[in-house]
Structure 1
Amino acid sequence: MKVIDLINNTNKTAFSYEILPPLKGTGIEKLYKTIDALQEFDPKYINITTHRSEYVYNDLGNGIFQRNRLRRRPGTVAVAAAIQNKYNITVVPHLLCSGFSEEETEYVLLDLQFLGITDLLVLRGDKAKHESAFTPEKDGHRNAIDLQKQINNFNNGIFVDGSEMQVTNTPFSYGVACYPEKHEESPNIDTDIHWLKQKIELGAEYAVTQLFYDNQKYFDFVNKARNAGITVPIIPGIKPFKRLSHLTMLPKTFKVDLPEELTREVMKCKTDEDCKQVGIEWCIQQCKDLMAHGVPSIHFYSISAVDSIKEVAKAIY
């Protein structure tokens, strides 16, 4: 069943979460422990992130460095297949523009289709660490809209080179990202809404938000989207606040504002453990408020927060 159907056919707020593929060479067992820890809450689907290659520099001595490309977290397709096979749950691998050519994307789509994985989250992706601004790969896509067009052509039986498939299979369904506090590269929220509408009109069936801690920003964003004619589910993306360092790290990394009340409570904390408890309580109240407003689903970002998410889920599901 497609993600959109899983969301629409549940009689309560759906639960889902995002995971990272394991670091190269570390195995998948730790990932299975994360999934096992959250199984009791009946996740409707699990997202698996995709990571581009980055340049690394190896010191060869005498002031000479060798530049090599490295993917620290390969295996998104394989991880998705392993989870689907072991847990019989819908998996949603991320598909990126960043770091991938059109041909490489096509091969990923073929692999996923062979495996019977037909749900995607379509994203532009972040710029590489060595870049000052996002730069697409040679023969790669510049934005999520262009990537959607390739997926749509694939669904219609057309390869990148224009040739036709002899056999077509179950088409891909997909969601996209959105930003209640606007994307960092966007000049204003109205421009963000404009591009979100374009993504929906091209076939995105739902949107998942960047993490946020102020529900009013989410509600305002949804209202703007509805007024612009966007009718698909807009799923709140949530991550429990966990460490004292998050006071400065989260606004810098994710370009989000922290509510004054949350900031005030965190600043009273002496340890990360104190901060973690504040974060859990804030997240519980945040989720209860979202559920009271009838959100169809809540999507959790689980990286380094599985234990907190479990406590939150116990309180709300």
Structure 2
Amino acid sequence: MKITEHIQNAKKPLFSFELLPPMKGQSIDQIFEAIEPLMEFEPPFIDVTYHREDFIYKKQPNGLLEKVSTRKRPGTVSICAAIQFKYKVDAVPHLICGGFTKEDTENALIELKFLGIDNVLVLRGDARKEDGGFIPETGGHSYASELIEQVINLNNGKFLHEEYSGPNGTDFCIGVAGYPEKHFEAPNLKTDLRYLKMKVDMGAEYIVTQMFFDNEKYEKFVTLCRENGINVPIIPGLKPLTTKKQLTLLPKVFSIDIPEELADAVADCKTDKEVREVGIEWCIQQSKGLIDLGAPCLHYYTMGKSDTIRRIGKAVF
């Protein structure tokens, strides 16, 4: 079922969450262990992220360094298939530009259709750690809008090679990312909203936001979206603080603000255990506030760990 249909059919706010694929060498059991404790909240869908390849440098016998591409995680497509088979809930794979050619993307979409997966979250994706900025794959896409166009084309039966085009296209519901505090590369929020509207006008059907810690920013973001003609569901993304290190790490990595009240409370903690309790309570209150604001679904970034999200879910849902 499509995410938009889940939202339309819901009689109360929905609970969903996002998983990180396990590291190479680990089994699907790590995924199931993260999912099991959260199934009591009846998530209609579960997102599975994708991380593009990194590079390592291997020293050769001649003393020179060889740059080698490595993928550290199992395939998102196969994990989505396992989730849908075992739990009978919709798995939503992240589809990214980085590391994929257009052919790779089309093959992945064909495979997703074959597996009965109805939704994709379309993202440009992050730059590799060693790159100064985002570098697209040769023969791939540079922007999420280009990736959306390819999905839309396939939905309309238009394949990369004309001889395969016809009535057997796909029917994916397309989600995109939204940034209540603007994307870090956008010069301002107005510009960011213009690009977001372009994606929605192209065919994106729902938005999932970057994490934030101040509900006023979500409320303002939704208001601005509506004023700019963006009328699709906007799902807030949430993550509880769990370590003091995140006070500086999260703003640096995700270009977000930590409210003074939360930052002060975390700064006063003597241990990460205390930080975790502060973070959980803040997220509980934030979740309740978002429900009061009319959020259609609360989407939690688990980072592969479910214990804190389970405590939040039991207090909210």
Shift of 1:121: 0.2
Match of 1:163 in 2: 163
Shift of 1:161: 3.0
Change over 3 Å in CA distance of 1:271–1:62 after alignment to 2: farther
* Amino acid aligned to 1:52: R
**Fraction of identical pairs, as percent:** 48
Match of 1:221 in 2: 221
DSSP 3-state at the match of 2:162: coil
* Amino acid aligned to 2:84: Q
2:292 is the alignment partner of 1:275: no
Structure 2 runs not aligned, ≥5 long: none
Stretch moving more, 174-183 or 54-63: 54-63
Shift of 1:117: 1.0
Write out per-residue CA displacement over residues 98-137 of structure 1, whole angstroms, 9 at most, x where no aligned residue. Answer: 1111011011011111111121000000011221111111
2:263 is the alignment partner of 1:266: no
CA contact (8 A) 2:156 2:170 kept: no
Match of 1:316 in 2: 316
Stretch moving more, 263-272 or 153-162: 153-162
Aligned partners of 1:124 and 1:79: how far apart in 2? Answer: 21
CA contact (8 A) 2:269 2:275 kept: yes
Match of 2:92 in 1: 92
* Amino acid aligned to 1:163: E
Match of 2:198 in 1: 198
* Amino acid aligned to 1:242: T
Match of 2:78 in 1: 78
CA contact (8 A) 1:17 1:301 kept: yes
Match of 2:102 in 1: 102
Match of 1:65 in 2: 65
Aligned partners of 1:306 and 1:255: how far apart in 2? Answer: 25
CA contact (8 A) 1:240 1:305 kept: no
Structure 1 runs not aligned, ≥5 long: none
Match of 1:234 in 2: 234
Match of 1:113 in 2: 113
Match of 1:11 in 2: 11
Match of 2:244 in 1: 244
Match of 1:136 in 2: 136
DSSP 3-state at the match of 1:68: strand
Write out per-residue CA displacement over residues 17-76 of structure 1, whole angstroms, 9 at most, x where no aligned residue. Answer: 000111111111011011101000111100011121221112336643221111101310
Match of 2:43 in 1: 43
Aligned partners of 2:143 and 2:251: how far apart in 1? Answer: 24
* Amino acid aligned to 1:60: Q
2:51 is the alignment partner of 1:21: no
Match of 1:153 in 2: 153
CA contact (8 A) 1:242 1:305 kept: no
Match of 2:299 in 1: 299
* Amino acid aligned to 1:181: E
Stretch moving more, 252-261 or 162-171: 162-171
Aligned partners of 1:62 and 1:265: how far apart in 2? Answer: 55
Q: TM-score, normalised by structure 2?
A: 0.97
DSSP 3-state at the match of 1:247: helix
Shift of 1:304: 4.8
